[in-house]
Amino acid sequence: MKYAAIASGSNGNCYYVAKGNDVILVDVGINTKHVELRMANLGLSPAAVKAIFITHEHTDHIKGLSVFCKRYQIGVYLTEGTYKGSKLQLPEHLVHIIKPDAEVRIGDILVRGIPKYHDAKEPCSFVVTDGQVNIGILTDLGRGCDHVKQVIRDSDVLLLESNYDEDLLRNGRYSYYLKNRISSGWGHISNKVALELFLENRTTRLKHLILGHLSGENNSLTLVQDTFCSHCADIKLSIATRYEETELFDVTHILTGRPLDIESRPLAYQQNALF
Ligand SMILES: [Zn+2]
Ligand SMILES: [Zn+2]
Distance CA 161, CA 192 (A): 11
Tell me, what amino acid is at 125? S
Distance (angstroms) between ligand 2 centre and the Cα of 61 equals 6
The larger pLDDT score, comparing residue 259 to residue 56, is at: 56
- Total domains, the chain: 1
Which of the ligands is closest to the CA of residue 57?
Answer: 1
* pLDDT above 80 for 262: no
Q: 33-37, 40-44, 179-183, 246-250: lowest mean pLDDT where?
A: 179-183
pLDDT of 266: 41
Q: What is the CATH number of the domain that holds 163?
A: 3.60.15.10
Q: In this predicted model, what pLDDT tens digit does every residue of 61-103 receive, in sequence order?
A: 999 999 999 999 999 999 999 999 999 999 999 999 999 999 9
Residue 266: inside a domain? no
Domain extent, residue 199, equals 2-256
Q: What is the mean pLDDT of residues 127-143?
A: 97
- CB-based neighbours (< 5 A) of ligand 1, an ion: 58, 140
Distance (angstroms) between ligand 1 centre and the Cα of 16 equals 18
Distance (angstroms) between ligand 1 centre and the Cα of 24 equals 20
Q: What is the mean pLDDT of residues 45-56?
A: 98
Q: Are strands 22-26 and 49-53 parallel, antiparallel or unpaired?
A: parallel
Q: In this predicted model, what pLDDT tens digit does every residue of 204-231 receive, in sequence order?
A: 999 999 999 999 999 999 999 999 999 9
Residue 263: inside a domain? no
Residue 261: inside a domain? no
Distance (angstroms) between ligand 2 centre and the Cα of 259 equals 30
Residue 272: inside a domain? no
Does the pTM exceed 0.85? Answer: yes
Distance (angstroms) between ligand 1 centre and the Cα of 213 equals 10
Question: Cβ(90)–Cβ(20) under 8 Å?
Answer: no
Q: 131 CB contacts (<8 Å, ≥6 apart)?
A: 110
Distance CA 91, CA 109 (A): 25
Distance CA 145, CA 242 (A): 26
